[in-house]
Amino acid sequence: MKLDVILNVKGREVATIRPDAPVQELLAELQERHVGALVVSADGNRVDGMVSERDVVRDLAAQGPQVMQSPVSALMSRVVQCAPPSASVEDIMALMTERRVRHIPVVDEDGGMMGLVSIGDVVKNRLGELEGERDALIHYVTNGG
């Protein structure tokens, strides 16, 4: 299955935050949206970075509470793994495992955001595929082929 199909099902909205936004605003957005990461984007269309709850926790541990006044750009990941909508779920599973990331922005050939795929989306899709295969096997066995 291709990422474009997953985006058609889950939706294409991408939660973003500006690089100059304070970390306090980031935490409010994460809590309000019930997500673990946001795409950092100055224009709402291009990927400038990613920032997650883990980034905040690491910086809090290293620098203390003054991190809350820092801009998101101070703790965001600047190198972001992105994928085209034509990428397969298998490719994304391998990329997430290899790069140890949980969120992959889906971008068009010009770098514009088309959606965001999380590890949860990938797992949900894979479980659906496995259930379909199981049902087909049960039908095959119980109906004699």
Tens digits of per-residue pLDDT, 35-82?
999 999 999 999 999 999 999 999 999 999 999 999 999 999 999 999
User: Helix or strand or coil: residue 57?
Assistant: helix
User: Helix or strand or coil: residue 18?
Assistant: coil
Overall average pLDDT of the 11-21 stretch? 95
- Distances in Å between the Cα of 21 and the Cα atoms of 26, 30, 83, 103 are 7, 13, 26, 20
> Contact at 8 Å (CB) between 74 and 19?
no
pLDDT digits (tens, 9 = 90+) for 91-133: 999 999 999 999 999 999 999 999 999 998 988 887 877 787 7
pTM value is 0.85
Four-point Cα dihedral 4, 19, 78, 99, nearest 10: -50
Place of tokens 């994928």: 83
141: pLDDT strictly greater than 80: yes
What pLDDT does residue 130 have? 77
Which H or E run contains 39? strand 37-40
Q: Which of 52, 117, 48, 58 is nearest to 89 (CA)?
A: 117
